[in-house]
Chain A
Amino acid sequence: MRIELIVNGTAREVSAPPNTPLLDVLRNTLNLKGTRFGCGLAQCGACMVLVDGEPVYACMREIGTLAGAQITTVEALDGHPLRAAFLAEQAGQCGYCLSGILMSAKALLDRNPSPSRADIVAALDRHLCRCGTQWRIIRAVERAASLLREKAVP
């Protein structure tokens, strides 16, 4: 079956069974390797992408439900202050959890440019990081928020 997906602003036609997980299509068909497999069980958040701006587990979401939806992956964060902030804080050890976390952070900052620490923690609580980088990640999201606010002030 042919399905049209809009990924990072570009329409991509994919031919695959409609029950194929979005994660497989992103990684293996569209060669967007930044979205990661961690559990396939909607439990870790490594595969998080945005669908119409909302965080969604790509490992569980079937492509048949996504015709016409806007899908955003970590590759689209080029130039986004989140990337600069994570590097500035060196918020990563192995880094495997980070692309999913960045997507949830983006969704948060898109709707709330001045999140409190509690807001950040709540937005990221579905994500696991085994390396114990959470404390730096929280600080990186705070830094990204302030970078975004600086940018907004002309």
Chain B
Amino acid sequence: MSASNLPLSFVNNPSPARWFRFDPDRTVHLAVGKVEIGQGILTALMQIAAEELDVPLAAIRMLAGDTDAAPDEGTTSSSLSIEVGGASLRLMAAEVRARMLERAAQRLNCAASELAVVDGAVYRNGAPTGQDYWSLAPDVDLLRPADGRTAPKPPSAYRVVGHSVPRLDLPAKISGAAFIHDMVRPNMLHARILRQPARGARLAALDETAIRRAAGGELQVFRLGNFVALLSPHETVAERAGAAAPLHARWENVRRLTSAQQEAAFLLGQPSEDRLIGDPPQPVSGEMVEARYTRPYLAHAAIAPSCALAESRGGHLSVWSHTQAVYPLRASLARVLNRPAETISVHHVQGAGCYGHNGADDVALDAALIAEAMPDHCIRVQWRREEEFGFEPLGSAMVIAVRAVLDASGKPIDWTQEIWSGTHVARPAMGGNMLAHEALPTPPPEPRPTDPPEAAGGGGTRNAIPHYAIPARRILHHLVPGTPVRTSALRGLGALPNVFAIESFMDELALRIGADPLAYRLEMLAEKPRAARVLTRAAEMAGWSRRGPGGNGHGMGIGFAQYKNRSAYAAVVAEVEAEREVRLRRLWCAADAGLVVNPDGARNQLEGGMLQAASFVLKEQVTFGETGVSSLDWQSYPILRFSEVPEIACELIEAREEPALGVGECALGPTAAAIGNAVAHALGVRIRDLPFTRERIASALLRL
């Protein structure tokens, strides 16, 4: 590989010693910067290392996400851990193996090319040489930076990569302590936070006596400006204090919200930063058609509340966090706490699935603020369920207007996707503020929202350019900085709403000319064989030919996207029954993710993405009350239940000679679109606003 296209994690951590250590107990210590968030990444990375080094999986001990002892790989997001982290690790392991063999060749007085490695031991012409990685390691310089020139194995030689391997982390998770929530440290205090209702609010009065009475045990109240924490050695006492505190606090200068603001359409009237991306507008003749799609604000709604531990000893601050970004979190903490980053360590400990930027970073600052002021205690902060729903950053609402000019055959020749959205990335290291920072005596300036650039896949614009052969395609992006609530990264960013809009519109266009939606798409994918293949395969799996005329309460729909227009391809078919409400019966998915490291792990991710997308589009919307988010529990924010889960079938297209692509996010948009198209097919009328609630179905049927 030439130096210019080396993967980022490799470039930023060029010393093999940063990644690998060969321990005397014949294990390989592997440190990585990407972290486990329920997606199975550590298992896949371990496979890659075992493959390139030719060591057994069982010999590898992994450490992930640690500012003291693991490489800096930025943030674990955007389905890039396999594409960037995995590619870096592959090159690095290949380099380590080559250096080991070079040393062995010197010792054995032969050429490195005569040597092979089996289970970490060096062989020559099939015979053991007495040399192995562990005997060689003291003599091999792993500190010297690697240049990426050592070629990794060809995929045709793979024995570990490409085979399903059980998840490393699962046994502990189904039998006992496994999560950050389960950590216990000496001198530990449980803390709950009284949250500032919003930026700018001032705590005018706090009835500590009443809170202590409700707590019913040993309680400390910690206050710094408008940041208040309630601490106790007993978790139940802290929890009761946390539940009571909002009732005994009086805030001034609280911003007010209305329920109108919870609707996506509210964005239309707001000031925005506007950009045109893609082909410039041009006069085209033909029939112009237009439709507008929306999706509301969504919650990540992790099943566990956010949690962090922090302790300050001898001037050093240690923080344990389920953040997606240990090094960026350390830098953000250093900025807020005004101390050198070297005086802070951030250690990743696994939490529940996060699906993007949730409260993980915020709660780490909560814990760090208290720990700094109370040295020699371990401060364990766990958010309350209401706090998680009320204060985590949300996935932005979006409005998407699609306009197309059609040629005489009914195909689009000019496509404009006009988008109104809040930002999709307000991580603390990318311009966002951590919540508690805004409650401190000197709050930071209001963040100026930005969105990831298109080169990084875009935010609101992610997947806004249709994959189909259309002569002119463009995006008009209105980034609304003043969303009523904080918004940030939710699994796939703008991809789900954009794919929902594009693929719904494609079906509407096909319907205008009475074309089969699958055939209509395939005609515009003649030059895109990988796209065509997943669509065709998903349709075959589903038995597309039995689709029927629709309009009778039974529907089948299809949806497709190539994630970020350059990552994994996924096509999904949905089968629904829809009369007064939608019952999702079955989902089929065919995906092409290039070389797949752990096929079962990848299918698990695809299935999870499909069910989460189904939950988003069938059920979810964050609601607002006067003082903030009002959907504060699982009753007011329902998600998909067991009784609503469809049967699922998932297939990976064999493409092992193609680069490995992440699969965590690629199926969400196609699933949302497939369900939407199936609902329209079943009802005989289109619903363009998410979620597909009973009310929306009832009012759509009135239009029939």
Contact = CB atoms under 8 A, between A and B. Distances in A.
Contacts of A21: 236
Interface in B279-316: 301-305
A44 B364 CA distance: 24
A33 B182 contact: yes
Interface secondary structure of A, over-half rule: loop
A28 interface: yes
Contact of B353 (A77, A121, A130): A130
Interface string B231-259: 00011100100000000000000000000
Nearest to B606: A132
Interface residues of B, number: 61
B125 interface: no
Given A77-B175, A99-B174, A124-B642, A90 B600 contact: yes
Interface in A1-41: 17, 20-21, 24, 27-28, 31-34, 36-41
B395 to A, nearest CB: 14
Contact of A38 (B385, B604, B641): B385
A130 B634 contact: no
A110 interface: no
Contacts of B385: 38-41
B169 to A, nearest CB: 7
A135 B634 contact: no
Contacts of A52: none
Contact of A43 (B239, B604, B634, B648): B634
Given A24-B235, A97-B303, A102 B642 contact: no
A130 B642 CA distance: 11
Contacts of A17: 216
B382 A37 contact: yes
A125 B641 contact: yes
Nearest to A137: B642
A130 B645 contact: no
Interface in B127-144: none
Nearest to B322: A94
A86 B167 CA distance: 11
A27 B182 CA distance: 8
B420 to A, nearest CB: 28
A18 to B, nearest CB: 12
A92 B174 contact: yes
A77 to B, nearest CB: 7
A135 B353 contact: no
B235 A132 contact: no
A90 B648 CA distance: 15
A128 interface: yes
Interface string A46-75: 100000000000000000000000000011
Given A40-B384, A46-B303, A98 B645 contact: no
A128 B175 contact: no
Contact of B167 (A37, A44, A90, A130): A90
B235 A28 contact: yes
Interface string B22-55: 0000000000000001111000000000000000
A34 B167 contact: no
A138 B647 CA distance: 10
Given A17-B216, A77-B175, A40 B611 contact: no
B352 A121 contact: no
B39 A132 contact: no
B545 interface: no
Interface in B162-219: 166-167, 169-171, 173-179, 181-182, 184, 216
A135 B301 contact: no
Contacts of A137: 642
Nearest to A86: B174
B381 to A, nearest CB: 13
Nearest to B600: A90
A92 B643 contact: no
A132 B303 contact: no
A24 B235 CA distance: 7
B612 interface: yes
Interface of B: 37-40, 166-167, 169-171, 173-179, 181-182, 184, 216, 234-236, 239, 301-305, 350-353, 355, 382, 384-385, 600-601, 604-605, 607-612, 614-615, 633-635, 639-643, 645-648
Given A39-B633, A133-B608, 4 more contacts: A24-B236, A98-B173, A99-B174, A131-B353
18 contacts: A24-B239, A38-B305, A39-B633, A41-B385, A74-B175, A78-B175, A90-B600, A96-B351, A128-B303, A130-B612, A133-B604, A134-B611, A134-B640, A135-B607, A135-B611, A135-B646, A137-B642, A138-B645
